[in-house]
């Protein structure tokens, strides 16, 4: 029975019969498409890749530090002439003392004197007048020199280790002494004294480059500079004004000065 006939019979309510020995209808089963493998599966897997070789970095050149040549300060030259030396000192600005001075105090006395007396630095009176040892201590110094036949007018040259007054009459500092040292050295070179007398601890220590107390510096004969000039050390006149009992020891020192000068005449 074909399909259309069967549909009409079913529409009229008539059951259709099917022959038992009839072959069963073959129901066509739609073909199912085989799954398509993804494109990536069709590509043969690559063998495991080796890690890339390390990048070759060219070595950087080692830069050597550039060292600037050392700047060597030219030695400070001072003129070997009294007038030119005095003029140079008058305008000196080698240390901070130039900022507070009234004027420089160069020195006083004959430039052929066999005896040179060196103090530590100018005080207020010296700063005002421009001459060393002009106050009370200066008057006592004149008396001490007169006792051994010496004077600043005739045969003694007087100077200081610094040419400017330290503020408040404080002790001159090491850099200030070194700033003035070329001037003092040239004064000694020009004068060529037979003996230097250092007045007080500060002058003696600064002149001799020593930190020994005055009690040890007094007595022995010292030497100074390239000419090995003999040096005696005694008390500063200002100290003797404060401690008059020490004048006897000072007189002993003056007698050594007198004897040395007499022996070298």
pTM of the model: 0.73
Query: Which stretches does DSSP call E strand in 48-155?
Result: 115-119
Q: Does domain 82-263 have CATH number 1.10.760.10?
A: no
The per-residue pLDDT for 265 is 83
The per-residue pLDDT for 89 is 98
In sequence order, what are the beta bridge partners of 117? Answer: 158, 197
Low-confidence ranges of the chain (pLDDT < 70): 1-74
State the angle between helix axes of 82-90 and 174-191 in degrees (0 to 180), rounded to the nearest 10. 160
The per-residue pLDDT for 76 is 85
Q: Which residues contact 165 (CB under 8 A, 6 or more apart)?
A: 97, 100, 101, 102, 105, 121, 122, 123, 124, 126, 127
Residue 29, Cβ density class (10 Å: 0-12 exposed, 13-18 middle, ≥19 buried): exposed
The per-residue pLDDT for 41 is 47
Neighbours of 23 (CB within 10 A): 6
H or E stretch including 195?
strand 195-199
Q: Which residues contact 44 (CB under 8 A, 6 or more apart)?
A: none
């Amino acid at each position: 029975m074909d399909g259309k006939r069967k549909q009409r019979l079913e529409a009229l309510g008539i059951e259709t019969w099917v022959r038992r020995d009839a072959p069963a209808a073959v129901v066509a089963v739609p073909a199912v498409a085989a799954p398509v493998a993804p494109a990536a599966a069709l590509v043969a897997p690559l063998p495991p890749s080796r890690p890339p070789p390390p990048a070759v970095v060219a070595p950087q050149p080692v830069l050597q530090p550039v060292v600037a040549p050392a700047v060597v300060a030219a030695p400070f030259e001072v003129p070997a002439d009294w007038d030119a030396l005095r003029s140079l000192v008058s305008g000196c600005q080698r240390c901070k003392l130039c900022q507070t001075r009234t004027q420089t105090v160069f020195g006083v006395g004959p430039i052929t004197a066999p005896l040179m007396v060196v103090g530590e630095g100018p005080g207020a009176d010296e700063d005002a007048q421009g001459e060393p040892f002009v106050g009370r201590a200066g008057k006592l110094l004149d008396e001490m020199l007169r006792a051994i036949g010496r004077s600043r007018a005739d045969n003694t040259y007087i100077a200081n280790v610094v040419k400017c007054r330290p503020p408040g009459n404080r002790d001159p500092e090491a850099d200030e002494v070194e700033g003035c040292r070329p001037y003092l050295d040239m004064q000694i070179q020009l004068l060529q004294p037979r003996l230097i007398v250092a007045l007080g601890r500060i002058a003696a220590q600064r002149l001799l480059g020593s930190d020994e107390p005055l009690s040890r510096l007094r007595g022995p004969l010292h030497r100074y500079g390239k000419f090995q000039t003999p040096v005696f050390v005694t008390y500063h006149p200002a100290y003797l004004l404060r401690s008059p009992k020490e004048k006897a020891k000072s007189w002993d020192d003056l007698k050594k000065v007198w004897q040395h000068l007499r022996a070298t005449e």
